[in-house]
Structure 1
Amino acid sequence: MSEGVWEAPGRVNLIGEHTDYNDGLVMPFALSRTVVATAARRDDGILRLHSADAPGAPGGQGTPGGPVELRVDALAPGRGPRGWTDYPAGVLWALREAGHRVGGADLHYESTLPAGAGLSSSAALEVVTALAVTELYGVELGRREMALICRRAENAYAGAPTGIMDQTASACCAEGHALYLDTRDLSRRQIPFDPAAHGLALLLIDTGVKHAHSTGAYGERRAGCESAAAALGLGSLREIPQEELPGALTRLTDPVQRALTRHVVTENGRVERVRAALEAGRARAIGPLLTEGHASLRDDFAVSCPELDLAVRAALAAGALGARMTGGGFGGSAIALVEASARERVAGSVERAFAEASFRRPEIFAAAPAAGARRLS
């Protein structure tokens, strides 16, 4: 019998890509598309997981169905079945490792988030699990600590070397706002972002190309950033001020390290410029910064793909104010900031471009900043 229903949203990262594991700046917002968990306690120490549609399964690794039953006291990284169940199981493991007294539970999940689309379905799955289980067992857990627990689950249990942005966004975002997050100290503030109020729309373009953060390319980018920082004698690339970037680049002899460093430092600058524009009520001014960010991700960080590049080109050609890939890359989604009156024209342009390239038809919809994780009943 259910004891409650909870939901946690996916997120769109407006700006600030691949900066969160470099102690950098990010600005995501929550989607209205969510993972919903119906949950109840169990007194037999069993974690029973059932999915209507395998939410959070990166790259389509999971399959609908189940249930999967695991002993809570036997949970450990590398033990048990691999796939989408690593994410909720990892949350239970991380909570217990942190000293929180949580036990068995029945958890049934349903999702309106497409997996592998760069919209952080895995973080939504983690956060909704953490919220449900802690409330079931009367554990008081702040949203900051919840995000940290969920990141540990993804890093140590699921084996995906992600930063803290996705979990914080799912747990902490507010409706009508983007979340300005400094991942170095986890300070955050809500920045008003309501495209419709400015006569705009933010289109989300799901290319249908799946990605998986636990695969090697993402980890290679993170390792490259860490090696670049070490070569400069720094703890992280965040420590490089914008004005000192040229000097830092001349000290790096490896061209890959130079490119990664250039992206991270300039992307932190773009986050600050987007924040300033939104706080000044100049929403249209962020368009060129989005496009600039895509070029940096494509050319310096090398995490785009033909479908994402085509989505951006087609949107811009049809009059979008700005466009870029969003999320970790290697597939997933792009965003395009458009005049509300141009929404259908831009979407049609992208769809035609994909058809002409014989790509899968993209799913395109307007994304508006929604609320973070919460209890529904």
Structure 2
Amino acid sequence: MNALEAFRKQYGAEPSGLWAAPGRVNLIGEHTDYNDGFVLPFALPQRTVAAVGPAPAGEWTVCSTFQDEAISFGHTEPGEVTGWAAYVAGVVWALVEAGHNVPGARIAIDSDVPLGSGLSSSAALESSVLTALVDLGGLDLPVEQRPRLAQRAENEYVGAPTGILDQSASIRCREGHALFLDCRSYEVEQIPFDLAAQGLAILVINSNAPHQHVDGEYGARRKSCEEAARILGVPALRDITGAQLDDALARLDDEVMRRRVRHIVTEDDRVLATVGLLRAGQVREIGPLLTASHASMRDDFEITVTQVDLAVDTALAAGAYGARMTGGGFGGCVLALIDADRADVVTAAVEEAYAQSGFTPPTAWTVTAGPGAGKL
């Protein structure tokens, strides 16, 4: 059943339209977003689709192809709607909080973005619903302002302390490009990312290890970074340059905090270097930067798990130019930059390594850079 069929079944009517928003892969730049730094995501072909039609003012109902019952709510406050529907209620709440006259709506959701995989299924859900409600209500909300509103829904309503990377990617990405985003100014640059033209591909490997954001670990990393910035007397860790890193680390007494700071500062530098190479058309050459990013996440930010590390190491041994975990960490997916004709070989190698270690089998597929949110 797709979103259109679900809408017809639940509401006995036709929707006003279908809106879709993608999941994302972050090519490089992990946990830099809430440090006012730089990120480089691209949109996945996998999308969340929202079939949406009008309802009486102040009334919203949402159903999905992955839950049996519909959930209805009115004007709510954070915490009043829970579970997956909180992401929808949060978007309505954030729009109302921003002064918009949000239209009542009946919504049906379908998605092929893998849940809990670090590919930002939550941002895809928020962004598809947000785009639909803006269009349905004729709301004056420019595209460049939408990611911050969707982020507020996730931060303040759902309670997940994520940065702005995911929503920006889901809303602002363009097909065939990676989105170079300055998370302080919100300025974006569309960076050409046509892998096929160079005989390359990005292989996404879902470790199938559990992936959770709404827990203590993500929040602890963010708190540590914010405290370090306070101690160092800067607005955010983005303001520490690579040349200043050693001096900054010497001013921090806590070894864990030093590792966290080192990851953020060096990761920002890796994003900038990757963008420079892509602008020059040197796609293969970004591989070592991807791999260095993973080592930093593993050793300094400590957000990887055994299955993820094994997938990275195995992909590299099987010929990948570079590989890294993507997403917030503690499970989720790995991306590997490979020759396009090596996808089956690399996948088989990772599957064999998992089997030998007794892990749940991984799933893998190649991806291209798709478009951001919009009406179908």
Do both proteins adopt the same fold according to a TM-score greater than 0.5, normalized to the shorter chain?
yes
The 1-side partners of 2:63 and 2:145 are apart by 26
Q: Which residue of structure 2 lines up, in the alignment, with residue 184 of structure 1? A: 184
Q: Which residue of structure 2 lines up, in the alignment, with residue 202 of structure 1? A: 202
Secondary structure of 1:27 counterpart: strand
Q: How many residues of Structure 1 are paired with residues of Structure 2 in the alignment?
A: 363
C-alpha displacement of 1:358: 1.0
- Code of the residue aligned with 1:297 in structure 2: it is M
- Code of the residue aligned with 1:134 in structure 2: it is V
Give runs of aligned pairs for residues 123-142 of structure 1, distance below 5 A: 123-142=123-142
The 1-side partners of 2:288 and 2:235 are apart by 31
Q: Which residue of structure 2 lines up, in the alignment, with residue 78 of structure 1? A: 79
Give runs of aligned pairs for residues 35-114 of structure 1, distance below 5 A: 35-53=48-66, 64-71=67-74, 73=75, 75-80=76-81, 82-114=82-114
The 1-side partners of 2:83 and 2:310 are apart by 31
Deviations 1:43-93 (A, max 9, x none): 15221010112xxxxxxxxxx22200111x2x100113x210110100000
Secondary structure of 2:131 counterpart: helix
Q: Which residue of structure 2 lines up, in the alignment, with residue 60 of structure 1? A: none
The 1-side partners of 2:114 and 2:341 are apart by 27
Secondary structure of 2:124 counterpart: helix
Secondary structure of 1:219 counterpart: helix
The 1-side partners of 2:287 and 2:247 are apart by 29
Secondary structure of 1:65 counterpart: coil
Deviations 1:190-224 (A, max 9, x none): 00011111111110001112212111100000000
Q: Which residue of structure 2 lines up, in the alignment, with residue 22 of structure 1? A: 35
Unaligned runs of 5+ in 2: 1-13
The 2-side partners of 1:65 and 1:128 are apart by 21
- Code of the residue aligned with 1:40 in structure 2: it is G
Q: Percent identity?
A: 50
- Code of the residue aligned with 2:77 in structure 1: it is A
Query: Which stretches of structure 1, 4 residues or longer, exceed 4 Å deviation after superposition?
Result: none
The 2-side partners of 1:297 and 1:99 are apart by 39
- Code of the residue aligned with 2:326 in structure 1: it is T
- Code of the residue aligned with 1:193 in structure 2: it is F
Q: Which residue of structure 2 lines up, in the alignment, with residue 56 of structure 1? A: none
Is 1:151–2:151 an aligned residue pair?
yes
**Backbone CA RMSD of aligned residues:** 0.8
CA contact (8 A) 2:103 2:136 kept: no
Secondary structure of 1:66 counterpart: coil
- Code of the residue aligned with 2:71 in structure 1: it is V
The 2-side partners of 1:270 and 1:66 are apart by 45
C-alpha displacement of 1:146: 0.9
Unaligned runs of 5+ in 1: 54-63
